[in-house]
Structure 1
Amino acid sequence: MPLTIPISSMQARVSELRAEFQCSSGVTHLVSKYHTAPIKIAKVFPLGGPAGVIVMDVSPGLLAGDRYELEWKIGPNAHVYMTNQSFTKVHPCGDPVRGGSSIVQKFQLQQGAVVESMPEPIMLYKDAAFVNETEVQLSSGSVWMQAEIVCPGRTLRGERFQYRSYRNRLRVRHEGELIYAQNGLIEPGKQLLTAPGCLGGMTHTGVLYAFSDAITSRHVEAVRNAIAALPQREGQPVLAGVTATHKFGIAVMTAGMAAWPLQEVLAEAWQTLRRVLLHQAPLQFHK
């Protein structure tokens, strides 16, 4: 008879991924990497100068007590586009002693470096507890962009805001100066997320951040106009807003009833920034 091990009883893991990229003759190369299971860089793809990176997770997802630590070092004028294979699946946290799961990412960008981090959405299963923490160190002329979409559960299975908690922390520094700090906490069991002024009738949320000392109000307006020109999808209402941050940044925030309409909005914002900020054509990259 085969042995079945419940997910909640599997051993927790601390998994690491470290990678460094350098630019030579206008082409970005992966010059060093280190990883421990279950995460790794599946492959690096040449994108006509920039390097495309897919992060692979060979496990069922983040289990109770798991911690993923990722560190990215991007050398002068190097350009990296990164994504992952599928949704980040956060499983139930059945054991309060071991706690939830977490991902901690650190980005260090040297002068003129560019990072476009566009992962698939985060799926918070029933009873999941998850901490998502990001630290960014920018240098003069560097650009960091990252998208994030959060799903309230497997809605087709009846899960909707049944996870325990979701904490999101972001710190961005430019030449050592803290220019942006965000620390959000969602606890559906303690908060009225469906109240007016909160999420109302929406279930999914998304955000795209872009930070660079080259960002001006012109870039904010370009993104705002691009999103406003998107067609409305019947039966899929989407709320979206674009704002400048306190210094050197743009935040695009969205809410809707499914992940894919938010992906469409954030992709339009991202491709617009590629055009007006990076002066590059839309990226065509298929996993």
Structure 2
Amino acid sequence: MRTASSIITTTMQPNNVTPEPLRVSELQASFRKRDAHTVLAAKYHTAPIKIAKTFPLGGPLGVIVMDVSPGLLAGDRYEMQWRIEEEAHVYLTNQSFTKVHPASGERHGASMSQRFELGAGAVAEWMPEPTMLYRDAAFVNETEVRLAPGAVWMGADVYCPGRTLRGERFAYREFRNKLHVYYGNDMIYAQHQRILPASQVLTAPGCMADMTHTGVLYAFSDRIGAAEAEAVREALGGFPIREGQPLTWGVSLTHKHGLAVMVAGYAAWTLQEALTAAWSALRMQLLRLQPLNFRK
């Protein structure tokens, strides 16, 4: 059951149109720099998502997002808006895996939308726990980033093919993933991904082959160039490979003001370790900051 603070919609749509969500939950927050520290300036939420905790990180502000439900159910939509004002710096994460539950038949799937708006010189680091798509799940994930001059946005995601210990491996119905990045009014990056396991040959060479988990790390800023890409390649090149857990990875600069890292493997935790190494190298090269090490 959702609480009364969720927004309920029941719009009917033709069969060939994706149905509107049944429940919309919102989280909005803004951050500003006060003296040498970033503070939470304003927040608003409706259940089941909320900011569970903020904590100082020696200047930047750490933020943990909590979902007090079992996860995204069929018909759920989470909408999160983050405003980071001039020179503010936030590190954002969540408490646990984003779990997407089944949406059987042609029923409503679940969706999540995030918008990051960064002022001049602002920094946002979005480093959540992995996303898990259960059997028969349908999920749309949309992210929009808007950057002012000097701003830095870094974001990572790890995607699991299902609960592999229960035999779920690409048993979900559909996964769509979209990322749009703007520098001022100029779109500098657009990525659309759609996975339909029932109709695509995911084991083909050049696709997933025999690997199961994927991870991405994106960084966008007018400060990013070849030195940042080389720092990440060096970090991943020296990353220790765990026994029985090989990784495939690649690093490239985007068309403008950006860097993309992709890794593939057989377990979420190995991809998290690799992306953390890449992120730590970027923090040092781009922000002159040490890696973050703490327990949630």
Same fold? TM cut 0.5? yes
Number of corresponding residues? 276
The one of 151, 156, 167 aligned to 1:147: 156
The equivalent residue for 2:31 is 21
The equivalent residue for 1:243 is 252
> Helix, strand or coil for the counterpart of 1:213?
coil
Gaps of 5+ in 2: 1-20
The equivalent residue for 1:116 is 125
Where do residues 149-228 of structure 1 align in structure 2 (5 Å cutoff)? 149-228=158-237
Task: Find the aligned partners of 2:274 and 2:240 in 1 and give their Cα distance.
Answer: 10
Identity of paired residues, percent?
A: 63
> Helix, strand or coil for the counterpart of 1:277?
helix
Task: Find the aligned partners of 1:46 and 1:198 in 2 and give their Cα distance.
Answer: 41
Q: What is the CA-CA distance between 1:95 and the residue it aligns to? A: 5.2
Q: What is the CA-CA distance between 1:175 and the residue it aligns to? A: 1.2
The letter for the 2-side match of 1:159 is E
CA contact (8 A) 1:64 1:95 kept: no
Gaps of 5+ in 1: 1-10
Q: Does 1:284 align with 2:293?
A: yes
TM-score by length of 1: 0.95
CA contact (8 A) 1:220 1:243 kept: yes
CA contact (8 A) 1:236 1:257 kept: yes
The equivalent residue for 1:89 is 99
The equivalent residue for 1:34 is 44
Task: Find the aligned partners of 1:18 and 1:124 in 2 and give their Cα distance.
Answer: 25
The equivalent residue for 2:78 is 68
CA-to-aligned-CA distance 1:91-127 (integer Å, 9 cap, x gap): 0002524x10000000000000000000000000000
The equivalent residue for 1:52 is 62
Q: What is the CA-CA distance between 1:12 and the residue it aligns to? A: 4.1
Q: Does 1:233 align with 2:242?
A: yes
| CA 193–95 in structure 1, closer or farther in 2 if over 3 Å, else same | closer
> Helix, strand or coil for the counterpart of 2:287?
coil
CA contact (8 A) 1:83 1:120 kept: yes
Q: What is the CA-CA distance between 1:285 and the residue it aligns to? A: 2.7
Task: Find the aligned partners of 2:289 and 2:228 in 1 and give their Cα distance.
Answer: 14
Please identify runs of 4+ aligned residues in structure 1 that moved more than 3 A: none
Task: Find the aligned partners of 1:137 and 1:131 in 2 and give their Cα distance.
Answer: 20
Task: Find the aligned partners of 2:53 and 2:164 in 1 and give their Cα distance.
Answer: 32
Task: Find the aligned partners of 1:86 and 1:248 in 2 and give their Cα distance.
Answer: 31
